[in-house]
Amino acid sequence: MAPEKMMFIDPHIHMTSRTTDDYARMQEAGIVAIIEPSFWLGQPRTEIGSFKDYFSSLLGWERFRASQFGIKHYCTIGLNSKEANNEALAEQVMELLPLFVLKEGVVGVGEIGYDDQTAAEDKYYRLQLDLAKEVGLPVQIHTPHRDKKAGTIRSMKVAMEHGIKPHMVIVDHNNEETVKDTLDGGFWAAFTIYPNSKMGNERMVEIVKQYGTERIIVNSSADWGVSDPLSVPKTASLMLERGIPAEDVRMVCYQNALDAFGQSGQMNESDWLQPANVDQRDKFQDNSVLRGGQTPVVGEFKTRNELKENIVK
């Protein structure tokens, strides 16, 4: 039962490391909008210019590239936890962030938080919480892979200390161990569906069955690693198959992400429901993601992959 008529938002995906083929398949699978959090590129950047160009590419080239496939691209801007540990560079990034956070299509400060939970990570996490508060943007939190439960609780506690309201915080990469604390605190609980680790989509189905749909969000976090840019629609498909009502699926795979990040004032349903009315100068232009002589096609892509292929047990 493919959710053909449903619309999806993937609120955490690193398209920088994906190809246009992925965009084509995502569009076909019903993804109408995505959010690309600033993150690291697999190896640390060593110069401030690399950050500047990266942020610019999220707002420029990547947004444009997505638009070529009928997908609305938003981003969150921030210094990621791993790279916060290079303090000399982190200082310079903090000076750069104010130039970016109020730009159009920036829906949050993110992804920030803890990785190793070092003192440097703590310092720059806090500074960025202050920035988010100053400009009134939601915060997108990356929770650590190691010592996850403690790290997640600490992230939320520190956010509260800085006067950020829980409804302005999206906590990513939750699992069965963290979800209760996150929801009980009034935060948004996002889940990353990975093919081989973190959350499988069968586990995700169980979580929705147990916790309902309030403030629960599904994402793919797809990047340069083993990951799947179709995780959201595939999970939706599995949920429907397992008897979760379509309206509930819509909440966790679309509406909640919109409500959470829509608090930025930078993301509205009308952006993709009536794209032509939003900014007519943004419509599909010359298509340089394609190669000489190819004609831009939107909405008629053929995918070779079956949605069923990625059901993770």
Partner 1 sequence: MQVFQADVEKSRDFLYELFKRNTSDEATDWLNDKLEKVKGANSARELYWAFSAAPRFVGKTVLQLQESELSKADVLRPGFNPSKWTTDQTARTLLLLSIPHQDQNEFLHKLNQLFSTAEMGELVALYASLPLLPYPGDFKLRAAEGIRTNMGTVFEAIALDNPYPADYLDEGAWNQLVLKTVFVGKPLYRIYGLEIRSNPTLARILSDYAHERWAAGRTVTPELWRPVGPFLNAFLMEDIKRVFAHPEQIQQEAAALACSQSNFIPAKELLEAHPVLKNKIETGELNWNYIGRKSLPAN
Smallest gap from residue 148 Cβ to partner 1 (A): 34
Q: Which does 118 bind (CB under 5 to 8 A by kind): Zn ion, partner 1, none?
A: none
Q: Return all residues near 20 (Cβ < 8 A) that are at least 6 apart.
A: 65, 68, 69, 289
Q: Which does 39 bind (CB under 5 to 8 A by kind): Zn ion, partner 1, none?
A: Zn ion
Q: How far apart are CA 111 and CA 128, in angstroms?
A: 10
**Residue 288, interface with partner 1 (CB under 8 A)?**
yes
Which is nearer to Zn ion, 38 or 67 (by Cβ)?
Answer: 38
Phi-psi region of 161 (alpha: psi -120 to 50; beta: other; left: phi over 0): alpha
Q: Return all residues near 104 (Cβ < 8 A) that are at least 6 apart.
A: 59, 266
Which is nearer to partner 1, 33 or 179 (by Cβ)?
Answer: 33
Tokens at residue 130, please? Answer: 């202050």
Smallest gap from residue 265 Cβ to partner 1 (A): 6
Place of tokens 């500047």: 52
Angle at 244 between CA 242 and CA 250, to 5 degrees: 125
Smallest gap from residue 59 Cβ to partner 1 (A): 4
What are φ and ψ of residue 112, in 5° steps? -125, 170
Residues 13 to 72: which contact partner 1 by CB under 8 A?
Answer: 52, 55-56, 59-61, 63-64
Q: Which does 285 bind (CB under 5 to 8 A by kind): Zn ion, partner 1, none?
A: partner 1
Query: Please, what sign has the CA dihedral across residues 83, 20, 24, 228?
Result: negative
Q: Where are the alpha helices (DSSP H) in 76-118?
A: 87-100
Q: Which does 99 bind (CB under 5 to 8 A by kind): Zn ion, partner 1, none?
A: partner 1
Q: Which does 245 bind (CB under 5 to 8 A by kind): partner 1, Zn ion, none?
A: none
Q: How many chain residues interact with Zn ion (CB under 5 A)?
A: 2
Q: Which does 300 bind (CB under 5 to 8 A by kind): Zn ion, partner 1, none?
A: none
Binding map of partner 1 across residues 263-282, x = CB under 8 A, - = no contact = --xx------------xxxx
Which is nearer to partner 1, 18 or 234 (by Cβ)?
Answer: 18
Q: How far apart are CA 167 and CA 208, in angstroms?
A: 19
Torsion on CA atoms 12, 112, 168, 186, rounded to nearest 10: 90
Q: Which helix (H) or strand (E) holds 106?
A: strand 106-113
Binding map of Zn ion across residues 8-27, x = CB under 5 A, - = no contact = --------------------
Strand order from edge to edge, sheet including 106-113: 8-10, 31-37, 72-77, 106-113, 139-142, 169-171, 188-192, 216-219
Binding map of partner 1 across residues 190-209, x = CB under 8 A, - = no contact = --------------------
Which stretches of the chain bind partner 1, using CB under 8 A? 52, 55-56, 59-61, 63-64, 96, 98-105, 265-266, 279-282, 285-286, 288-289, 293
Q: Which residues bind Zn ion (CB under 5 A)?
A: 39, 221
